[in-house]
Structure 1
Amino acid sequence: MDFFGAYSSDNVLFLLEGLGNTLFVAAIAIVFSFLLGSIIGILRYAKIPVVSHLLAIGVEIIRNLPLLLIILFTKLGLPEVGIQLSVFSAAIIGLIVFESAMLSEIVRSGLTSIEKGQIEAGRSSGLTYIQTVRYIILPQALRRMVPPIVSQFISLLKDTSLAVVISLPELLHNAQIVYGKNSNYVMPIFILVAAMYFIINFSLSIAARKLEQKERKGTKAAKATISNEPYTGSTAL
């Protein structure tokens, strides 16, 4: 193993360039998959005739397909019907399609976790169904959805490595190029790449745990207020 040669400035900068591409693709996929997934989840929760059933079928199909297959399809399958995509576009679209299906289920589950009595209370106060969902149900559901959504984002970040099969110049792709120069670089490069992934994903995991603890504190505080019980603010870890 040649750590000194593997960690030369050129190699490290090349890996950082790949990491930058990884974060770029992940960031775009996170934003658009969250928006699309939220829309799909809300539409499914609303149980609109035909639309909700068609969306449910589509979500279940995508969720049960390997992400690798979807990425390959966007790059190699779509050109067969005249749709040419760059490597970056194919990777981003593949991730958005897959992650939107996963996030839509999180959103739908979060909405359905809110007691139905709150919908009835909102309607009885003069709000429309849409207003009730927007102002009463959705804000409460979002607090419960944050931890699983962050966890899904962590999975998305790791899943960008699958785009190496279509030669996306992300972190793992660049790592393969570096250790392909010298077999003595394999272990040092693997260690460095693993450390990069770990630092980013572990940081996000800590953020997810803190958000979950905050949500638990908020829930306990609300229950204590309703029952007129004193709330200490402590949370069991």
Structure 2
Amino acid sequence: MDFLGAYELHNVRFLLEGLLVTLEVAAVSIVLSFVLGCVLASIRYAHIPVLAQATAVWVETIRNLPLLLIIFFTHFALPEVGLKMNVFVSTIVAMTVFQSAMLSEIVRGGLASIDKGQIEAARASGLTSAQTLRYIVLPQALRRMVPPTVSQFIALLKDTSLATIIALPELVHNMNIVKSQNVNFTLPAFLLVGLMYFVVNYLLSRIAGKLELKRA
């Protein structure tokens, strides 16, 4: 094991560059997948004819596919029909599609947990179904969904490592390059990358805990 060699400044900087790419992909994917997940859940919750059924089929299909397959599809299959994207964009698309399906179930569960009496009272006061969902149901549901949603975000961040298979220069990809320089760099590189993932995910967990305390 060569910790000094593995942790030379240029190697650490290279790993930090990979971490930055990981965080960038995760941040964009989190925002897009959460918005899309809320839309999918709202459609199913509102029981919009035909559209709700089509959304349910889409969500269940995506949830039962491996993320790696979706990454391969967006990067290798979509260009065959003229939708060519660079590795950064194709990873975000794959992550967004997969995670939005997962998040939609969390959101739908949160929406369903709201007491029906509140919905009836809102409708009786003159609010439309859309207004009731927007102003009464969704705000309360979002607060209840904080723990599972953050857990899903943490899973998303870790899942970005799968994109190393299509050469996205994220953290695991860069780690493989560092350890390929010298067999004695393998353990030090793994330990440092593991620490980086731990710190980021621990911070997310702490933020979730503080939000949960505020909600209580």
TM-score class normalised by the smaller sequence: over 0.9
Q: What's the counterpart of residue 167 of structure 2?
A: 167
1 CA distance for matches of 2:116 and 2:150? 26
Q: Which moved more, 1:1-10 or 1:128-137?
A: 128-137
Q: What per-residue deviation string (whole Å, max 9, x for no partner) do you get for residues 13-54 of structure 1?
A: 000000000011111111111111111111111010110010
Structure 2, unaligned stretches of length 5 or more? none
The runs of 4+ residues in structure 1 deviating greater than 3 Å are none
2:104 partner amino acid = S
Q: What's the counterpart of residue 51 of structure 1?
A: 51
Normalised by the size of structure 1, how large is the TM-score? 0.89
Q: What's the counterpart of residue 12 of structure 2?
A: 12
Q: What per-residue deviation string (whole Å, max 9, x for no partner) do you get for residues 130-171 of structure 1?
A: 111111111111110122111111111101000000000000
Query: Which structure is richer in relative contact order (CA contacts within 8 A, separation 6 or more)?
Result: 2
2 CA distance for matches of 1:168 and 1:93? 13
1:22 lines up with 2:22 in the alignment: yes
Q: What's the counterpart of residue 200 of structure 1?
A: 200
Q: Residues 33-72 of structure 1 correspond to what in structure 2 (within 5 A)?
A: 33-72=33-72
Q: Residues 84-233 of structure 1 correspond to what in structure 2 (within 5 A)?
A: 84-215=84-215, 217=216
2 CA distance for matches of 1:79 and 1:142? 37
Q: How much does 1:93 deviate? A: 0.4
2 CA distance for matches of 1:92 and 1:183? 32
1 CA distance for matches of 2:64 and 2:93? 17
Q: Which moved more, 1:178-187 or 1:115-124?
A: 115-124
Q: What per-residue deviation string (whole Å, max 9, x for no partner) do you get for residues 174-201 of structure 1?
A: 0000000100000000000000000000
Structure 1, unaligned stretches of length 5 or more? 218-237
1:101 partner amino acid = A
Please report the RMSD computed on the Cα atoms of aligned residues, expressed in angstroms. Answer: 0.9
SS, match of residue 126 in structure 1? coil
1 CA distance for matches of 2:20 and 2:205? 20
Q: How much does 1:61 deviate? A: 0.5
SS, match of residue 114 in structure 2? coil
SS, match of residue 169 in structure 1? coil
1 CA distance for matches of 2:132 and 2:59? 25
* Alignment size in residue pairs: 216
Percent pairwise identity: 62
2 CA distance for matches of 1:144 and 1:151? 13
SS, match of residue 201 in structure 1? helix
1:178 partner amino acid = V
2:79 partner amino acid = P
1 CA distance for matches of 2:127 and 2:171? 50
2:128 partner amino acid = T
Q: How much does 1:209 deviate? A: 2.2
2:76 partner amino acid = L
